[in-house]
Structure formats: C-alpha cells, structure tokens
Amino acid sequence: MIIVTAAIIQKASKILITRRGPGKHLAGYWEFPGGKLDADETEQECLSREIKEELDITIKVNDFYMENMHQYEEKCIRLRAYKCVQLSGDIVLYDHDRMAWVKKEELNDYEFAPADIPFVKALAND
C-alpha cells in the first residue's frame, strides 16, 4: 500500500484544485494536490515538500481532514488529506496543466480522480 497525502488548500471561501497533466497517471482528472510519502518524512513534511515541488508555493499544514483507501487497477493507496493554507509564493504549475480556486458547491462540476471523490463529497457537506 502506498501512502499519499493531499492538501485541501483554502483561501477565503475557495479551495485549490489542480488537474493532472498529460502523460501523468490519471491525466485530465482533477485532484487535491499532494504526493507520495517518503520513508523518512512525516505526512506534514511530505505535503509541504510536494506542494513546493508541484506548485512552487509554501503552505502551512493544519488539521488532518480525512482519509480514503482506494484500489486502482495496479495499486492500492491510502490518501490522507489535510486542511492547509498558502503562506507565500505564486502558483506555478509543474505537474498539472490547470488549476482553479473553487467554492465547495462547485467541486461537483469537476471530474475528480476516483480516490479524491470522497473528499469532494465530504467538503460539499461541511
């Protein structure tokens, strides 16, 4: 099983979502950005590192939000989401081809990667 972290980055009443770029696993699907946990780091360190690598911004990782176990055809992941805020930097897309700041009511307008869908449903009900 692979542990993957996801950042639910909030700014005012909006949440940052990103779309996986061409050539990536699940290209074209939207997600909450993040990435795979390395053996020598905490989940919070992983999120900070991944967001810096993928989006070139610095975040503060706040409270754990929820997790979802998902079996893709080739692998099983445990996706663990944290509420976060952007501290500094301007977003640059390195791994994604699009980004959007959306209200939680608008999340259902986007086609999310299967592992992220439970987070979309939970956020819509918050």
Q: What's the CATH number for 2-125?
A: 3.90.79.10
Band the pLDDT of 87: cuts 50, 70, 90: very high
CA–CA dist 90, 96 (Å, integer): 15
Tokens of 26: 């699940």
Q: What's the predicted TM-score (pTM) here?
A: 0.94
Name which of 14, 10, 61 is nearest 37 in CA terms.
Answer: 61
The per-residue pLDDT for range 22-73, each reduced to its tens digit, is 988 889 999 999 999 999 999 999 999 999 999 999 999 999 999 999 998 8
